[in-house]
Amino acid sequence: MTWDSQEPPPWPDIPLRAWPRVGLRLGALASLLGLGLTLHLGLRLIERALLGSRRVLSAALTQGVCRAALRVIRLRMQIEGQPLRGRGALVANHASWLDIFVLNAATQVTFVSKAEVAGWPGIGLLARATGTLFIRRDRKEAAQQARILAARLSAGDRLLFFPEGTSSDSLRVLPFKSTLFAAFLTPALRDFLRIQPVSVSYRVADQDDQRALAWWGGMEFAGHLLRVLAQRRAGQVTLIFHSPVQVTEEQDRKALALACETAVRAGFAREHGA
């Protein structure tokens, strides 16, 4: 399922004077990601030999590359609260492909994503290279997915996923789906595991339409990327890292999902004056 809106997306034509800026930024971004990917693959060889599945060096590299990418895009990041440390999971609302760069820049995490993303041009390659955990949205595989997530969490990974299941127009938080929260309630995890809700809020700088950075519905990635790069300043993204929710304090996956959704909505509403 992909969320869509009856209102047309804010896709104005790129003015002629902006194309040199697009070219320079696209070249800088491609060079940055290409170099980062090459170094990342080398570091993974070292990590596999010395650390197994742990991504200590490559995770730090990914964070640095994403911070540099935000500077190329001219998207300023503001962080409130303290990102989770140690074992646990994070959940956030989802508005754009930019969320991947933003959240990776803020903290070292392993993303959990729908399986289709692995085949997407550009984004799929980066997601696979950085260790994204791909899952199928099939209820028949829910039990197996829960075991996989539990194994990664038990191994010390900090997982991050988007419980909305899709991105929106950045003006709202969609209802959280509770399916993946079941993995956090397994006996091996629930006694120690914490889940940190994160509110993600964008402010567009040079356009009146605050949806300009959002990516949803049938938007093509390439066209949206070019329009983001065409802006003199993309704007600002605010991340609010809320107090972690202790899994043992919630009765079931639905209550756990609701507790996280409530925190994310509260932070989002505060940023948007709702």
Report yes or no on 240 lying in a domain: yes
In the chain, % of residues over pLDDT 90: 56
Report yes or no on 254 lying in a domain: yes
Taking Cα atoms as reference points, which of 75, 72, 122, 129 lies closest to residue 103? 75
Tell me how far apart the alpha carbons of residues 199 and 186 are, in angstroms, rounded to a whole number.
26
Residues 6+ apart with CB under 8 A from 15: 230
Report yes or no on 145 lying in a domain: yes
Tell me what pLDDT residue 104 has.
94
Tell me what pLDDT residue 138 has.
66
Report yes or no on 2 lying in a domain: no
Tell me what pLDDT residue 1 has.
52
Which two three-digit tokens encode residue 194? 């914490």
Tell me what pLDDT residue 103 has.
96
**Tokens 């197996």 map to which residue?**
144
pTM for the model stands at 0.92
Tell me what pLDDT residue 12 has.
76
**Tokens 């070249």 map to which residue?**
27
* 52 phi-psi bin (left φ>0, alpha ψ -120 to 50, beta other): left
Tell me what pLDDT residue 13 has.
86
**Tokens 């996280």 map to which residue?**
260
Report yes or no on 3 lying in a domain: no
Q: What is the mean pLDDT of each run of 10 residues along the chain (274 residues)?
A: 75 90 97 94 87 79 95 97 92 95 94 81 76 76 75 82 93 93 83 93 86 89 93 95 94 94 97 78
When divided into structural domains, the chain yields a total of: 1
Q: What is the span of the domain harbouring residue 137?
A: 75-219+231-272
Report yes or no on 63 lying in a domain: no
Report yes or no on 122 lying in a domain: yes
Report yes or no on 15 lying in a domain: no
Pairing of β 88-92 and β 110-114 = unpaired
Tell me how far apart the alpha carbons of residues 75 and 232 are, in angstroms, rounded to a whole number.
10
**Tokens 């997915």 map to which residue?**
145
Tell me how far apart the alpha carbons of residues 176 and 261 are, in angstroms, rounded to a whole number.
6
